[in-house]
Amino acid sequence: MRTATDLRARLLQHGQAHAWERLQRLAPAARARLEGELAALDLDLLDRLARLVRGGAAAATPRALTPPEVFPLVRDARREEHARRASAAGAAALARGQVGYVLVAGGQASRLGFEAPKGAFPIGPVTGRTLFGWHAQRLRAAARRHGTRTPWYVMTSPGNDADTRAFFARNGHFGLDPADVFFFAQDMLPALDEEGRVLFSAPDALFLAPNGHGGCLLGLASSGALDDMRRRGIEQLSYFQVDNPLVRPADPLFLGLHVLSGAGMSSKVVEKRDAAEKVGVLGLVDGALSCIEYSDLPAELREAREPGGRLAFRAGNIAVHALAVAFVEQVTRGGLELPWHLARKKMKVVDEHGQTVERAGVKFETFVFDALARSETSVVLEVARAEEFSPVKNAQGEDSPASCRADLCRRFAGWAAAAGLPLPAPDAEGNRPVEVDPLCAESQDEFRAHATLRPDVRPTGHLYA
């Protein structure tokens, strides 16, 4: 058992003497709280992060950037045949119960003016169904379609974990078996000042920040989720983020392409709207598949065109991936070996006198897409933005609740119109409020093939369930 003397020696050895000095000034209860946080620190990791901070911004090294090979949305006969084989392989993996589902849901909806976990935000244009509810219905639909269970691994954060668990419980786990819903919280890391010293959010508390969505991979390992997957016979994971209600977690084509290629990690992409859209694109960096941030792609490459006029770098990353369980085990063995991304910013911290002040600091994140470079084989599948991507990120404008609801209405009203079904009048925003429950259908073809399609007419619109 480590003593206070041990902690003092460790803090001094790792350049954190100021933290020990702060401890000495605290009352017993506050001291015990902070001592517990300091004792839990991985000081060797902190040393590595501090070296990154003190090293400053390294000079950019010229890199060879080329577009990736993409399995396209519009396909020739050869690729159509491969797509049929892949869809069959994906459906077989789903029916055998070899697929698990990983949801990244660590954020709050405070940017939307909604103080709750983001997954609790209501987005259904007719029902007001929440983001969590949408994803749960898709998993229930997959379970019904393929005759299997759909184990769901939900990554929360320390700030929303309790609220998320309570929200699921209040909603009866949205019709899923609670034994099939596995919650785990992502890790937090201390923010550092420009000298590499830990910062504090209160006299007796470290300033902690989430370790990025790349931390999801390490969280799967450290939480016991990977062990649970192995017990269940899960071999592949469908990874998606909470803010996109159009995502299709149980997509036989995508999973099948991934399985047939023997890939460690694969990705879905949408075509960029235009060269100026500020979204990361998938591409090869010195021959390795990566996500190239908008700011890292030189202007001449952002604007580069193919002979037909399409952007050369157009594979917009939508944070939808398939991962082999064996691959996740490989990249997390002995810790998570992904690059650290540094976010330098002004932070409100509590100084050594107990005063709230603004100081320059650094937060640290890992990004899940950086694991792509570790996968020897990878599939990049292009999908239709209107069918599979409409995130809720901003309070207004693009990628907002209003734009997402409009996209949902446009999609579902299109299905109903193509099937010759009645549509409600446009609402104040010009949308025809139509909603299709994923248990009813996940595609236009499935919707049209449904035996009994009658709208449940409500004051807020038409629901097909």
Q: Are residues 247 and 329 in the same domain?
A: yes
Q: Are residues 332 and 401 in the same domain?
A: no
Is 305 a member of any domain? Answer: yes
Per-residue pLDDT at 92 exceeds 60: yes
pLDDT of residue 61: 62
Is 49 a member of any domain? Answer: no
pLDDT of residue 58: 54
Is 445 a member of any domain? Answer: yes
Is 428 a member of any domain? Answer: yes
Is 180 a member of any domain? Answer: yes
Closest by Cα among 224, 204, 110 to 159:
110
Q: Are residues 82 and 182 in the same domain?
A: yes
Q: Are residues 452 and 377 in the same domain?
A: no
Q: Are residues 318 and 437 in the same domain?
A: no
Let me know the angle formed at the C-alpha of 210 by 234 and 193, rounded to the nearest 5 degrees: 145
Is 216 a member of any domain? Answer: yes
CB-count exposure of residue 461 (10 Å: 0-12, 13-18, 19+) = buried
Q: Which tokens go with 84?
A: 């049929």
Is 329 a member of any domain? Answer: yes
Q: Which tokens go with 178?
A: 């609670």
Q: Which tokens go with 286?
A: 């010195």
Q: Are residues 387 and 400 in the same domain?
A: no
Containing 454, the helix (H) or strand (E) segment is none
Q: Are residues 371 and 404 in the same domain?
A: no
Q: Show the domain range for 215.
A: 61-393
Average pLDDT for 431-449: 93
Q: Are residues 361 and 449 in the same domain?
A: no
Q: What is the CATH number of the domain that holds 142?
A: 3.90.550.10
Query: Last residue of some domain: 330, 365, 393?
Result: 393
Is 6 a member of any domain? Answer: no
Q: How many domains does the chain have?
A: 2
Q: Are residues 456 and 381 in the same domain?
A: no
- pLDDT tens-place string over residues 276-331: 999 999 999 999 999 999 988 999 999 999 999 999 999 999 999 999 999 999 99
User: Is the whole-model pTM more than 0.95?
Assistant: no
Query: Last residue of some domain: 336, 362, 393?
Result: 393
Query: Last residue of some domain: 361, 393, 425?
Result: 393
Q: What percent of the chain has a predicted confidence (pLDDT) above 70?
A: 97
Q: Are residues 157 and 276 in the same domain?
A: yes
Terminal alpha carbon distance of the chain: 59
Residue of 60 and 398 predicted with greater confidence: 398
Q: Are residues 363 and 373 in the same domain?
A: yes
Q: Are residues 400 and 282 in the same domain?
A: no
Contact indicator for 86, 253 with CB cutoff of 8 Å = yes
